[in-house]
Amino acid sequence: DAKTTQPPSMDCAEGRAANLPCNHSTISGNEYVYWYRQIHSQGPQYIIHGLKNNETNEMASLIITEDRKSSTLILPHATLRDTAVYYCIVRVADQTGANNLFFGTGTRLTIIP
């Protein structure tokens, strides 16, 4: 299973772009990178995922390096509601193809007013 490494905490000023890094140096060629976040101990919320190309949706952008060993989640204009723990996950599938998401401890992002 590919493992991920994230900084335990980060701060970002409100209105600025928040850039959250993730290292996944042992990722295999067919594994996707997923990002989830968890606000106030609620259930985790899906943000975005990608394989090789950069991805963008209404919530965020995902930049994956060409060698796929690291990625960055970008929240373009952070608001106070973006304060949460952000998890970078590499998707693992067993023989049945089940979508098992293995969570680490994530990055606690605090948006500063």
Partner 1 sequence: NAGVTQTPKFQVLKTGQSMTLQCAQDMNHNSMYWYRQDPGMGLRLIYYSASEGTTDKGEVPNGYNVSRLNKREFSLRLESAAPSQTSVYFCASSEDPGGWMAEAFFGQGTRLTVV
Residues that bind partner 1 (CB under 8 A): 30, 32, 34, 36, 41-46, 49, 87, 91, 93-94, 96-106
| Cβ–Cβ < 8 Å for 40, 15 | no
**How crowded is the C-beta side of 2, counted as CA atoms within 13 Å?**
24
Nearer to partner 1, 22 or 106 (CB): 106
| Cβ–Cβ < 8 Å for 49, 35 | yes
Nearer to partner 1, 66 or 98 (CB): 98
Nearer to partner 1, 58 or 113 (CB): 58
Least CB distance to partner 1 at residue 94 (A): 7
Which residues have a Cβ under 8 Å from the Cβ of 26 and sit 6 or more positions away? Answer: 2, 3
